[in-house]
Amino acid sequence: MDIILLGSSGYIGKILLKSLKKKKVQVRGFSSSDLDLTSENAHKQLISVSKENTVLVIATRAPGNQGSNEMFKNEVSMGKNISKLLESSKVKKCIYLSTVSVYDDNTTNMNITEDSKTLPSSLYGKAKLKNEATITQICTKKNIEYVILRCCKIYGPNDRSFSYGPSMFIKSILINKDIAIYGDGDELRDYLYESDLVFAINKFIKQGNSGIYNISSGDPLSFTQIIESLKKYTSKKIRTKTIKRTKPKIDQKIDSKKLTKEFKEISFTPIKKGIQETFESYKLLLKGNEIE
């Protein structure tokens, strides 16, 4: 089996590459420094290095601010190059990491399934949905197996984005900074521990049906519940400050039953355990001056 991993230097790509090499499978990773997927002729390089019956794993994220037109343009350009590779008939299976942002994220919904309405409000969600449609269409036409994983908020020890949520909260605690909370912080969100996603991708590389799958813990917590959990775990004094909401308060829960029905051995790390493991990892980073 020959695997090509796009986005191998990114958050999830880096963990997945390490996991695949540990299993001693033949994998070639491409980062943005190896291959600029936004360039017009990137597909030619991909086709030239692809072998027959390649498994293509796409863990990319376009450069540019998540809400910018530049990001949207880059994401779509990357999708075009991936499409041309799929058209070459060298790929036997395609695994694409997408996002739950393709759903209607302006409405409370505590039962978001793969059949729920797709109505993304963000340019990021719109770009991912556009690429989903293109990949599905080409793979269906060329009889290529495909898996689209719609991921919720991913977190864990290797997350260096420190974006709003567990990673930002933990960093704020460790550097003795107030945790900024939008509104009352009571909105419910789903989370996914990094190693659970990597485990699922490994399963799909070897087996599984084509289609779209949600992937989340299915155990949503509010931001205030996450902070309360951290208060119980750490001896540090935790301070919070309120920031005015920029969006309406909504609750959402992602249904992953389709995934767990197909793979009975897939289970999800409880978020409280995942937060504790992430906290301990970040503590070591702080000691090594890797957190500023």
Give the residue from 8, 96, 84 showing the smallest Cα distance to 46. 84
What percent of the chain stands above pLDDT 90? 89
Predicted local confidence at residue 65, as pLDDT: 81
Nearest-5° Cα angle at 200, 207 to 34: 95
Tokens of 128: 């991912």
CATH topology of domain 156-189+219-251+269-287: UDP-galactose 4-epimerase; domain 1 (3.90.25)
> pLDDT category, 286, cuts 50, 70, 90?
confident
**Residues 288, 290: Cα–Cα separation, whole Å:** 5
- Beta partners for 29? 5
- Residue 9, classified by CB atoms within 10 Å of its CB into exposed (0-12), middle (13-18) or buried (19+), is middle
Residue 207 pLDDT level (bands cut at 50, 70, 90) = very high
What percent of the chain shows pLDDT beyond 70?
A: 98
Q: Rounded to the nearest 10 degrees, what angle do helices 42-49 and 69-87 cross at? A: 40
- What is the DSSP annotation of 224-259? HHHHHHHHHH--S---EEEE--SS----EEE--HHH
Q: Sign of the C-alpha dihedral, residues 165, 170, 171, 177?
A: positive
Average pLDDT for residues 107-117, to the nearest whole number?
Answer: 95
CATH architecture, range 2-154+193-215: 3-Layer(aba) Sandwich (3.40)
What sections of 10-61 are H helices per DSSP? 11-22, 42-49
For residues 194 and 16, is the Cβ–Cβ distance under 8 A? Answer: no
pLDDT tens digits, 153-184: 999 999 999 999 999 999 999 999 999 999 99
CA distances from 4 to 19, 154, 285 (A): 14, 22, 31
* pLDDT in the model for residue 227: 95
Of all helices (H) and strands (E), which one includes residue 58? strand 54-58
The residues spanned by each domain of the chain are 2-154+193-215, 156-189+219-251+269-287
pLDDT at 149 > cutoff 90: yes
Q: What letter represents residue 243's amino acid?
A: I
Predicted local distance difference test score (pLDDT) of residue 288:
66
> ∠ CA(136), CA(142), CA(144), 5° rounding?
65
98 CB-contact burial (10 Å; exposed 0-12 / middle 13-18 / buried 19+): buried
- Rounded Cα gap, residues 65 and 159, in angstroms: 18
Confidence of residue 292 (pLDDT cuts 50, 70, 90): low
**3-class DSSP state of 54:** strand
Query: To the nearest whole number, what is the mean pLDDT of the chain?
Result: 94
